[in-house]
Copies of this chain bind each other. A is one copy, B any other.
Amino acid sequence: MKASIYDVARYCGLSVVTVSRVLNNTGNVREKNRRKVLDAIEALDYRPHAAAQSLARGHTRIIGLMMTTLHDRFFETVVNEINRALARYGYFLALSVSSDVRSRETHDLMHEDRVDGLILLSLPEEDRYVAQLKKRSIPFVLIDNQRRDHMVPSVLTDNYYGGYEAAKHLLSLGHTRIAHVCGPEYFLSTRERKRGFLDALREGGLSPFAVVQGDYEIGFGYNTAKSWIRSGKLPTAVFAGDDYIAVGIVNALAEEGMRVPEAMSVIGYDDQYIASRLRPYLTTVRQPAENIGQSSVELLLKWIGAGSTASVTVEWKPELVIRESTAPLKA
């Protein structure tokens, strides 16, 4: 049987209160007694009962994380960083991965007493949750939220800036026939990247070679490039909505014996694993996932600690990473 705080108290001939005190470093305890308690704890291999502490203290030191998929380098990194940051503050991570927004487990995490707070990582239909969370007054933070108008604590990256920088880079290389192959319209990030892209081109006095919309999938990039090739009309540079699309484009060109960046410059987004592993290494726009994960934890814990609902928004700038897949336009 596991030792309780009473066992410890009995063992060292002191009261549970004193034991509790040394456990929590609170109040004054005579050094001699402190040692006795510590020894007793050691001898009995005692560790406080989490549920009992939660019940007495009114909080769990558990933070919930809700997300839809783990298959994304950016998400993985964020999760990792959240995990690390929480551990540093002595919190635990409860994870709920569910692509089905309405599924049961997702909601179960939202009990106010299960978790001290919640992080919502790029959740579609985030409004569904925000309303509930507010009603139950559970502290929460949104990462990469879809709407920017509601007043909720959130951490996001400037996708407009990312798209803008990507286009600028291509323009600075002398390209004029530039296409954008982007993801689904319903993502705010998609729309923002596109808007940045378009603005940059406009400033350069250009209009896009094409703007094609589809999924964030290798296959979509592949098919798009193939259809360009079939039509015989190719851009000289393309801004892909993410690295997977970019890789798909490179893949299709390679099959036709066309090299990147010689035949076409390609820039991706997200700096996924393969972006820096597969030749040609991809020029891409990296989101500072580490900072994002950390900010979200700090924001959340600040809320929990202060009880303040001060709706702060932290925005990070993405970073252009220039590698092999973009090059100056050949005259």
Contacts and interface: CB of A to CB of B under 8 A. Distances in A.
Interface of A: 2, 47, 49-52, 54-55, 60, 62, 70-71, 73, 76, 79-80, 83-84, 86-87, 92-98, 103-105, 108-109, 111-114, 217-219, 222, 244, 247-248, 251-252, 254-255, 273-274, 277-279
19 contacts: A2-B112, A49-B113, A51-B113, A83-B96, A83-B97, A83-B105, A84-B105, A86-B105, A87-B103, A87-B108, A92-B94, A92-B108, A92-B114, A93-B94, A222-B279, A244-B277, A247-B274, A251-B278, A251-B279
A272 to B, nearest CB: 10
Given A76-B71, A87-B104, A218-B278, A52 B55 contact: yes
How many monomers of this protein are in the complex? 2
Contacts of A87: 96, 98, 103-105, 108
Contact of A111 (B47, B112, B251, B278): B47
Contacts of A222: 279
Contacts of A70: 70, 76, 79-80
Given A87-B108, A95-B95, A248-B277, 16 more contacts: A2-B113, A47-B111, A47-B113, A50-B113, A51-B55, A54-B54, A71-B273, A79-B95, A80-B97, A83-B95, A84-B98, A87-B104, A92-B108, A219-B277, A251-B278, A252-B279
Contacts of A254: 254
Nearest to A52: B55
A65 to B, nearest CB: 8
A84 to B, nearest CB: 8
Contacts of A2: 112-113
